[in-house]
Amino acid sequence: APALSVRDLRKTYDNGVQALKGVSLDVRPGDFFALLGPNGAGKSTLIGIVSSLVNKSAGDVEIFGVDINRQRGEAMRLVGLVPQEINFNLFEKPFDILCNYAGFYGIPREEAAARAEEELRRAHLWEKAQVMSRTLSGGMKRRLMIARAMMTRPRLLILDEPTAGVDIEIRRGMWKTLREINGAGTTIILTTHYLEEAESLCRHLAIIDKGTIIQQGSMKKLLSQL
């Protein structure tokens, strides 16, 4: 089954805004996929629905063949989400942030500790495992958000504008971590409005505008058309 299959997805918010007007897309297992589009295009709405934070109005969504409505719990367990805003407790240590998050998902303490070390190393944060998170640099905080989402071992990692508003050095550090995660087999979807980011990271992409997919395919093919 595809990592993500979206069929004729529609979303109308209570205020009448049609954020998605019949979106269909497929993401293959192991892919690194960009959802590219300007502000207000519907990117956050789409990933909100895929990660069960937003209810759809119509259409079908399956994650590795699991329907997000009929098997909601199972679908949610397949997905890790990195939200745009840094939302961990700045007065906790990275190691504790990761272990507490795992505990919330019922992962036993010893397993959580092992995973925390693995994820902190992959995010180039192991030396910072025991400092107060408040003291981390902007790039470190964002990589910690990624490490936290990986604690549940999601098969599909979704990131909402992971590098919005950060400088190129910080972006490169995040890209390195994301490439390692994808290289180890996790499918990644990220939203971005930087073509450069999609170009650097992604094999396939969809371009969304005003709630409609206007182009979809391989990065290579798209670039050859520009």
Nearest approach in angstroms of CB 104 to ligand ADP is 25
Nearest approach in angstroms of CB 128 to ligand ADP is 8
Residue closer to ligand ADP, measured from CB, 9 or 66: 9
Do residues 125 and 143 touch, judged by C-beta distance below 8 A?
Answer: yes
CA distance 129 to 38: 36
CA-nearest of 11, 78, 79 to 41 is: 11
CA-nearest of 221, 225, 161 to 191 is: 161
Structure tokens at 203: 């094999």
CA distance 212 to 6: 13
Q: What is the DSSP letter of 151?
A: G
Give the nearest residue (CB) to ligand ADP.
139
Nearest approach in angstroms of CB 108 to ligand ADP is 27
Nearest approach in angstroms of CB 152 to ligand ADP is 20
Residue closer to ligand ADP, measured from CB, 47 or 79: 47
Residue closer to ligand ADP, measured from CB, 1 or 168: 168
Do residues 94 and 133 touch, judged by C-beta distance below 8 A?
Answer: yes
Contacts with ligand ADP by CB under 6 A lie at 13, 15, 17, 19, 37, 39-45, 123-124, 137-140, 169-170, 173, 176-177
Residue closer to ligand ADP, measured from CB, 156 or 178: 178
